[in-house]
Amino acid sequence: MASSDLLPVSGALAPRAPAPDVYTHTDALAERHGAVNLGRGAPDFDGPAVLRRAATAAMRAGVNQYVASAGHPELLETLGALAVPEGTRYDPRTEITVTAGATEALATALETLLRPGDEVLVLEPFYDSYPALVRRAGGVPVAVPLVRRGSGYVLDADAVSAAVTGRTRVLLLNTPHNPTGWVASAGELESLAALVLRHGLYVVCDEVYEQLVHGTGQDDRHRSIASLPGLRERTVVCSGAAKSLSVCGWRVGWAFAPKELSGPLRDAHRMLSYCAPAPLQLGVAAGLAWAHRTGWFGLQRQEYRARRAALLAGLEAAGLCPVTPSGGFMIMASTGPDLPADPLRANELLARDFGVTGLPLPGFHVRPESASGLLRFAFCKELGVLQEAARRLSALAPATEKGTLPA
């Protein structure tokens, strides 16, 4: 069940001062101490060269002005043919919209669906943009905690059900999940789908890590809730090239939605950013086609599994009790017995004395104090960088064993 210390009395996230900018905090720490920076969830390597070649060719060929607001036809066609969730179809002419990153897809989806005061269910911890995106669209975010069980996180379907009120309008779902690495199982998606249909809700599903499911078990693969019976008509699927193709700075994302929802979503997008960067849309179209043709996403998953193993080994050796993520490229860990529970302070000590930084997560929780004792480490880094981080982290082990750390 939802734990009452995580859900405020009203069940809603009260307006509060923004959480500290932990990204800038972490970057500054890493620079000051020459630390390996595992704070930011952006790769330290470029995506496949085919993307840059196609984008450069598009710039040289004069694709440098606005394109159709809904998206360049070449990317829309490619998305419709290759990137839609398994078991679904979307018409590129009316049901797919290219946006300025997945973030804009999420923002316009929420703007389309929410009326003032509507409640939006979010799973906690959550990607730190969510509360602000919901509030900007006039909604009220309501947090339901994911539960740590065994070696990972699971959904508490009863807690989600208990959080539904007469004002609930949208379930904002993220699978694979940042920061926990949770990947919704078939059973979890079915229980959420049943709840959505029972209460006439809508779903905004953030699937930016769809190509990064690491499990080896048969059940461990990405599934979209949009592919379940009756859900396509009630779901906006948001994704993008940032994580799948390692081009976070290109700002190319997309939304798949039924025609009735795509119309207003496209209107919102037209007024917000008008169109995503034109030549980069063509780079992404070429990259997606190439990745599907060559099976590159599978190779990328193998590389990520090696990266995950290297970092997990280092965190385990340091006694930081990492949770093995089933998807995405983040690892949640504890600050251990000897680092302070205050995650900002723990991160500072880690950077100063051991030359590694993670990311404190106050902005990923309803109440910053729920982030106490937790750090997130990103493994979207070159293998050698992660091995060096693991080597440095292992120096933490003797201090942990001795129960002492430099003051």
Q: Which of 90, 127, 256, 379 binds ligand PLP (CB under 6 A)?
A: 127
Which positions from 17 through 46 interact with ligand PLP, judged by CB under 6 A? 41
Structure tokens at 303: 């590389």
Q: Count Cβ neighbours within 10 Å for each residue of 6-42 and write b for 16 or more, e otherwise.
A: bbeeebbbeeeeebeebeebbeebbeebebbbbbbbb
- In degrees rounded to 5, what are phi and psi of residue 36? -70, 120
Which positions from 62 through 121 interact with ligand PLP, judged by CB under 6 A? 101-103
Query: 45: closest CA among 391, 307, 396?
Result: 307
The DSSP string of 203-242 is EEEE-TTTT-B---STT-S---GGGSTTTGGGEEEEEEHH
Q: Output the smallest distance, CB 254 to ligand PLP, in A.
A: 9
Asked whether position 178 contacts ligand PLP by CB under 6 A, the answer is yes
Asked whether position 336 contacts ligand PLP by CB under 6 A, the answer is no
First to last CA, the chain: 40
Asked whether position 364 contacts ligand PLP by CB under 6 A, the answer is no
CA distance 165 to 80: 36
Give yes or no for a contact between 344 and 360, defined as CB atoms under 8 angstroms apart: yes
Q: Which of 152, 240, 277, 343 binds ligand PLP (CB under 6 A)?
A: 240
CA distance 208 to 47: 15
Q: Output the smallest distance, CB 338 to ligand PLP, in A.
A: 30
Q: Output the smallest distance, CB 253 to ligand PLP, in A.
A: 4
Smaller CB distance to ligand PLP: residue 41 or 314? 41
Q: Which of 248, 257, 285, 399 binds ligand PLP (CB under 6 A)?
A: 248
Residue 175 DSSP code = S
Smaller CB distance to ligand PLP: residue 108 or 178? 178
Q: Output the smallest distance, CB 239 to ligand PLP, in A.
A: 8
Q: Output the smallest distance, CB 319 to ligand PLP, in A.
A: 27
Q: Output the smallest distance, CB 99 to ligand PLP, in A.
A: 8
Asked whether position 206 contacts ligand PLP by CB under 6 A, the answer is yes
Q: Output the smallest distance, CB 276 to ligand PLP, in A.
A: 10
Smaller CB distance to ligand PLP: residue 174 or 347? 174
Give yes or no for a contact between 222 and 185, defined as CB atoms under 8 angstroms apart: no
Instruction: Indicate the angle between helix axes 49-60 and 278-294, nearest 10 degrees.
Output: 140
Reading phi first (left if > 0) and then psi (alpha if -120 to 50, else beta), residue 77 is in alpha
Q: Which of 242, 278, 320, 374 binds ligand PLP (CB under 6 A)?
A: 242
Smaller CB distance to ligand PLP: residue 280 or 405? 280
Smaller CB distance to ligand PLP: residue 208 or 226? 208
- The SS3 call for residue 21 is coil
Give the contacts of 181 (CB within 8 A, at least 6 positions apart): 152, 153, 323, 324, 325, 326, 327, 328, 330, 331, 332
Q: Output the smallest distance, CB 252 to ligand PLP, in A.
A: 8
Which residue of this chain has its Cβ atom nearest to ligand PLP in the complex? Answer: 101
Smaller CB distance to ligand PLP: residue 102 or 332? 102
CA distance 35 to 348: 10
Smaller CB distance to ligand PLP: residue 161 or 357? 357
Query: 306: closest CA among 200, 385, 245?
Result: 385
Reading phi first (left if > 0) and then psi (alpha if -120 to 50, else beta), residue 203 is in beta
Smaller CB distance to ligand PLP: residue 128 or 353? 128
**Segment contacting ligand PLP by CB under 6 A, of 113-121, 240-248, 306-314, 392-400:** 240-248
Asked whether position 253 contacts ligand PLP by CB under 6 A, the answer is yes
Count, residues near ligand PLP per rule CB under 6 A? 13
Q: Output the smallest distance, CB 403 to ligand PLP, in A.
A: 35
CA dihedral (361, 366, 368, 369) in degrees, to 10, reads: -110
Q: Output the smallest distance, CB 40 to ligand PLP, in A.
A: 9
- The SS3 call for residue 122 is strand
Q: Output the smallest distance, CB 245 to ligand PLP, in A.
A: 11
Interaction site with ligand PLP (CB under 6 A): 41, 101-103, 127, 174, 178, 206, 208, 240, 242, 248, 253
